[in-house]
Structure formats: structure tokens, C-alpha cells
Chain A
Amino acid sequence: MATEITMPKLSDTMTEGRLVSWKKSVGERVERGDIIAEVETDKANMELEAFASGVLLETRVKAGDLVPVGTVIGIIGEAGEAVAVPPAGAAVREAEAAKEKPIKEIPAEKEKLPPEEPKEAVSPPVQPVEAAEAVEIEKASPLVRRLAREQGIDLKLVKGSGPEGRILQEDLERFIKERESGTGTREQEKAKVQQPPVGGTQPLSRMRAAIARTVSEAWRTIPHFAVTDAIEMGEAERMRRELKEAGTPLTINDLIVKAAAMALAKFPLVNASFAGDGILLHGEVNIGIAVGLEEGLLVPVIKGCQNLSLRETAEKSRALIALAQSGRISETDIAGGTFSISNLGMFGVEEFMAVILPPQGAILAVGAIIDQPAVKDGRIVPIRMMKATLSADHRLLDGLYAARFMAELKRVLENPVVMLV
């Protein structure tokens, strides 16, 4: 049985890795535990061990290539074994790798495969048939096959987006999502699939697992406290309308990011990390924006906010949110945040409290802008009120400091013109 060697995931934030070098060559004997290759992510290298003994039948990725996590980079099997999913021209290489055994034996291997749909009467040349059949059984990694089995999914129904139509975990997740939302589903398939019973356990998606780990760490290690302030947003809304009419589109959230950046510059402890025996004041103001997705949450980071104009802030924010929603965001865009903002205002939430993202020291939770009566000059007038709640790490700062920060944020948002100068 051939064993796939895949690009390992060496970090939660690793999406792709570089194959630095092969330590074994094609045709060479490999024992389980042998170092077969070296891969690199960022500035860390990992020596890759073989999970199976056999012969290195094929290398699909060459030294220096950058490939997504999960990509099959090589195959270990028995000498002479038919290799699955040969890329174009690989049949020749495969034959070379297996040349100690006569080619004649390959059809014998073929007979062991499970029967497939009836073939045309006239057989195409031997090796292409070999390839086509192999695709049917080997087009997904063992992990994906296991997940599919657990979910009762027939992999033949899943469209693969990987190399040579390989089914990636993402494809499977998309398929599951589509199935659950009822789109792109075949009734018969739907009927076959059983939802886990209520009270049963549903496996965690990768994103869910990452979120679970982060918030657990935050809640366990950071003594949170929260301070809420009400901010009158009428002026900010007016300014936003004017700017929009003048050709600068921006959102209320962009105004909040810019205002927060200005307030953070004056209150550095809100833009800091608690580090055991010291407090790290970050020189940069890198503000993460929580972007809610169906499958969870991503927090893309607007870097260097202290030097960005309102317009630049809006442009960066728009680009990052689009990337997050399309699922194409890179790890550098979600790393390095020093403060975060979570805005549920557009969903009508009046106020809430957010959990700090370690190693950051604070997060701002923003609610909806709602009409509210207020007394001004002895008369009752409607005002546009928004509540914002700062969750802060009490090891870094105290209530008074948080209150001052919020007062500064309020001052900027209520006098939004200061954001233009």
C-alpha cells in the first residue's frame, strides 16, 4: 500500500510550506522514522520523518517549491507498486522507479483494485487506464478520507480543488456547508447523511479548534474587566455622509478604528502586552478587526494605524475584510495585532463584552447606533447613541485608566473633525 507524504501543518497559522530538500532520492529504501525531507515555514525548518517503510517511489515537489499544507509531496510504497495520481508524464518516471520489476506486473496490481464503472470496450493504452483507476481511490489524503467516512460522505460527490483534482479538507468542509445550507445538494445524498444526534459530539473544524484554544487561553490567563461608555455618533455619521458624497467612502467602523488609533497613542497601556515580569508597550498601533464568518471568526490586522489617515485606514480595512471573507487572507494579515475591535452594531446588538485576544491587552466591543431621547437646553431631542465596551487586562491597567481611554475615544468620535487633521 502506497503512503502519501504530505506537507505537514507545523503551526496553526501555517498555510503553506517550502520543501527545502529531499534527504532520500527516488528508488531509495526508506525506514519508518528516517528523515526523508526538510521543510521550512517562516524561519523554522522541520526535518520530515517517514511514517512508513518502503521505497521512495516518487517526489512530486522539488526543492525550493512552496506548496499548500496537505499537498502530497511524495509517495512511499513497495518497489514496483503502481503510484496513484501520476501528474502528467509521471507514468514514465514511475516506470523508471519500478524498473527492477517487470512492467508486466502492473496489470496484476490493477486486478486487485475494486471494480469501477464499466469501461469502454476498446481499452486505451495501459498506463492511462492505470492512472484513471488510481485517481478514483487516491484523490484525497487519509485525513480527508477519514473525515468523509465520519460524516458519511461519498467522496465521489465532492469536487476537488487541489492539484489534479485532489480533494482537500477545505473542499470537504465546503461540501458539508453547502449540504447543510441545502445548496448544491443531491436529495439522495442528503437522506443518507445523518446529523449527529442532539447531545452527540460534532468534530471541531480547524478554525473552531483554533478559536477554542485562543479564547480558553485568554479566559484562563487574562483577568478581564470591562468598561462601557455611551458615545453620541450624530456628528460622526454626518461627517461620514459628507465624506462619502465627496468621494471618500468609509464605514462607521473605519471611524471607530481611526478614533481608537488616536486614543491608543495617548494611552499606551491599552496598546500593550503583559509579559510575566514586564509590560510591553507596542511602538506600533496594529488594530485587528473581528470579521464574523459562517464557520467562525477571523481578525485581520490593520498595521501601523498610528501613521494612517482616515482614508488610508478605510482602504486597508476594506481590502482586509474582503480577503477575510473570501478565505484568501494570508497569515501575515492576521498576525501582529496590538489591539482589536469587534463590532456587532450592524446586527443590532446594543452592547456586549468581547474576549481579549492574547497576547494583546484590550479589545473594544462596539454596539449599534440607536435613536435615543436626550435633554438638551431644556428640550427633549433625539440623539444617535452608540455603546462601546472596552475589555482590558487588569494586570496592565486599572479602571481609571480605562475610563480615561474611553473618554478620549468618546471625545474624538463626538468631535470627528479631529480625525481629519
Chain B
Amino acid sequence: MNVIDLDLIDFAEAYAIQERLAADVFAGQAPETLLLLEHPPVYTIGSGGREENILDHGVSAVRINRGGDVTFHGPGQLVGYPIIDLGRRSRDLHRYLRFLEEMLILAAADYGVNACRVAGRTGVWTGRGKIASIGVGVRRWITMHGFALNVAPDLAGFARINPCGMANCPITSLSLENGAFVPISDVKARIGARFETMLNAWLPLRRDRDAGAYGRQY
């Protein structure tokens, strides 16, 4: 599996890279890949999200093919786009979401931050609020999009949306929780180093893609 650091990259550009990688991974022409990056300020809305949850029209908003409602991306937030072939890893979307959460909870724990899941609300939370968002899109069992961990972002960007479609959803960050500035490069390195091992433990790789397009049901 590859881990690629794209640094600060425009949303549209990263999206194009994701699309190409997803097609290549499906075709067996590229290894599974984790893209780690930061975006310039942008709002993204999941397919089911509602535009009215964006209260600020000064920043661009993009509608994309992932689950979830609206979220904000900006510098200081570590975004991860794992392009993973779930067709070879159990075909279980919920388990994949739980894996992403677990991975983020461990990342927070590295900085002494006690984060947890909240049942029914995918994402990672602390007592103060949401520290990481998750939204995944899957095409032919290849994953796109992924997670956004607030390391040290300007939280003002969130103030002008209803994150995840919830009014007054409090947002927090690693730096805020930890009390000291957490460098994003440090978090990137830790997640990059841990991701594949954890993925293999949670969603072990099988030799072949299952027959049938949607797994067990067919």
C-alpha cells in the first residue's frame, strides 16, 4: 500500500487524483493508497446533504459523492483519502467506518486526547465536541473520500456551517484539547505509519475479489 503526502492541495485537484486512483485500483493497476493532505478553505456537501446547512456563501462549496452532510476543510486540518479495495476486504461499509474511527481515536490518544465514538453519529468526538469527520464514497467497492482530523485549524470556518447537518454542533481540535500546538506533519507521520497495519487487522486482505457485485446478498 502507498502513502502519499499531497501537502496543501486544491479540492478539485485532489478529487481528480482520487478518481484516477480509484479506477486504477479497481483495474488492479495501482496499489491501495492513502492520500494525506490539507485543503485551502472549502465546504463540501455529501450527496444527501442540504445546501441550507451552509450559512456562509463567501467560501466555495462543492457537492460530492460521499455520505454525510456538509463539512469544512481548511489548513490545519489533516485530510485523509484512503483508496481501498473493500471488495477484497470483507465488503462491510460499517466496519470500514468503525476502522476509520478507531484509527482516529488512536491518533488522538497519541496526544493524550481522549476521543470516542458516539453511537449513531459517525465521526470522532471528545467531551468538547467533534474532533474528526468521516464521509465515505464507494464505487465498485473501492473507497473514496475518508476522514478529516482537526489538528490545529482555524475553527471559525466551522462557525458558518451546521457541521454534519446538525445545528450548534461543537467542533474541537487536537491542539485545543492538548493545550499545546500539535504540528500536522507529526500527526501525518503517525497516521501514515500506522494505517496499513491497522487496516489489515480490521479488514484483512483476501486473495481475490468476491464474485458478485454486492457480496453476500447475491
Point out which of B119, B120, B214 has the most chain A C-beta atoms below 10 A from its C-beta.
B119
The residue from A44, A64, A331, A359 contacting B67, defined by CB atoms under 8 A apart: A44
Rounded to whole Å, the gap between the CB of B70 and the closest CB of chain A is 12
Known contacts A45-B67, A143-B218; A21/B136 CB under 8 A: no
Not counting A40-B48, A275-B106, a sample of 19 additional A-B residue pairs whose C-beta atoms are within 8 angstroms of each other reads A8-B214, A12-B92, A12-B95, A20-B47, A42-B93, A43-B46, A43-B97, A44-B93, A44-B94, A45-B136, A45-B137, A45-B138, A46-B137, A70-B217, A206-B216, A275-B102, A276-B194, A283-B116, A332-B119
Chain B residue nearest to A40 (CB atoms) is: B67
Rounded to whole Å, the gap between the CB of A144 and the closest CB of chain B is 11
B213: Cβ under 8 A from any A Cβ: yes
A280: Cβ under 8 A from any B Cβ: yes
B198: Cβ under 8 A from any A Cβ: yes
Q: Is the CB of A283 within 8 A of B122?
A: no
A195: Cβ under 8 A from any B Cβ: no
Within 8 A of A (CB), among B165-200: 194, 197-198
- How many angstroms from the CA of A63 to the CA of B95 in the assembled complex? 25
A229: Cβ under 8 A from any B Cβ: no
Q: Is the CB of B94 within 8 A of A38?
A: no
Residues from chain A with Cβ under 8 Å of B119 in the complex: 303, 332, 335-336
Known contacts A278-B106, A278-B109; A45/B47 CB under 8 A: yes
Binding site for A on B (CB under 8 A): 46-48, 65-68, 91-98, 102, 105-106, 109-110, 114, 116-117, 119-120, 122-123, 134-140, 194, 197-198, 201, 213-218
Within 8 A of B (CB), among A4-37: 6, 8-14, 18, 20-21, 35
Residues from chain A with Cβ under 8 Å of B136 in the complex: 43-45
Rounded to whole Å, the gap between the CB of A284 and the closest CB of chain B is 6
Rounded to whole Å, the gap between the CB of B64 and the closest CB of chain A is 9
Q: Report the 5 A-B pairs with minimum CB-CB distance, sorted nearest first.
A: A11-B94, A43-B67, A44-B136, A43-B122, A8-B214
Q: Is the CB of B93 within 8 A of A46?
A: yes
Q: Is the CB of A280 within 8 A of B109?
A: yes
Residues from chain A with Cβ under 8 Å of B138 in the complex: 10, 44-47
The residue from B66, B110, B114, B218 contacting A283, defined by CB atoms under 8 A apart: B114
Residues from chain A with Cβ under 8 Å of B110 in the complex: 278
Rounded to whole Å, the gap between the CB of B142 and the closest CB of chain A is 10
The size class of the interface chain A forms with chain B is: 35 or more
- How many angstroms from the CA of A11 to the CA of B90 in the assembled complex? 9
Q: Is the CB of B94 within 8 A of A42?
A: yes
Residues from chain B with Cβ under 8 Å of A35 in the complex: 139
Chain B residue nearest to A45 (CB atoms) is: B67
Chain A residue nearest to B137 (CB atoms) is: A45
- How many angstroms from the CA of A44 to the CA of B46 in the assembled complex? 10
- How many angstroms from the CA of A231 to the CA of B43 in the assembled complex? 57
Rounded to whole Å, the gap between the CB of A24 and the closest CB of chain B is 15
A151: Cβ under 8 A from any B Cβ: no
- How many angstroms from the CA of A69 to the CA of B215 in the assembled complex? 13
A415: Cβ under 8 A from any B Cβ: no
Q: Is the CB of A43 within 8 A of B102?
A: no
Point out which of B94, B110, B117, B197 has the most chain A C-beta atoms below 10 A from its C-beta.
B94
Residues from chain B with Cβ under 8 Å of A283 in the complex: 114, 116
A350: Cβ under 8 A from any B Cβ: no
Q: Is the CB of B137 within 8 A of A9?
A: no
Chain A residue nearest to B138 (CB atoms) is: A46
1/0 per residue A80-115: CB within 8 Å of B?
000000000000000000000000000000000000
- How many angstroms from the CA of A417 to the CA of B109 in the assembled complex? 36
Residues from chain B with Cβ under 8 Å of A278 in the complex: 106, 109-110
- How many angstroms from the CA of A209 to the CA of B201 in the assembled complex? 20
Q: Is the CB of A221 within 8 A of B201?
A: yes
Point out which of A38, A45, A221 has the most chain B C-beta atoms below 10 A from its C-beta.
A45
1/0 per residue A47-82: CB within 8 Å of B?
101010000000000001000011000000000000
- How many angstroms from the CA of A69 to the CA of B198 in the assembled complex? 29
The residue from A143, A284, A359 contacting B217, defined by CB atoms under 8 A apart: A143
- How many angstroms from the CA of A49 to the CA of B218 in the assembled complex? 13
Residues from chain A with Cβ under 8 Å of B139 in the complex: 35, 46-47
- How many angstroms from the CA of A282 to the CA of B102 in the assembled complex? 11
Rounded to whole Å, the gap between the CB of A172 and the closest CB of chain B is 14
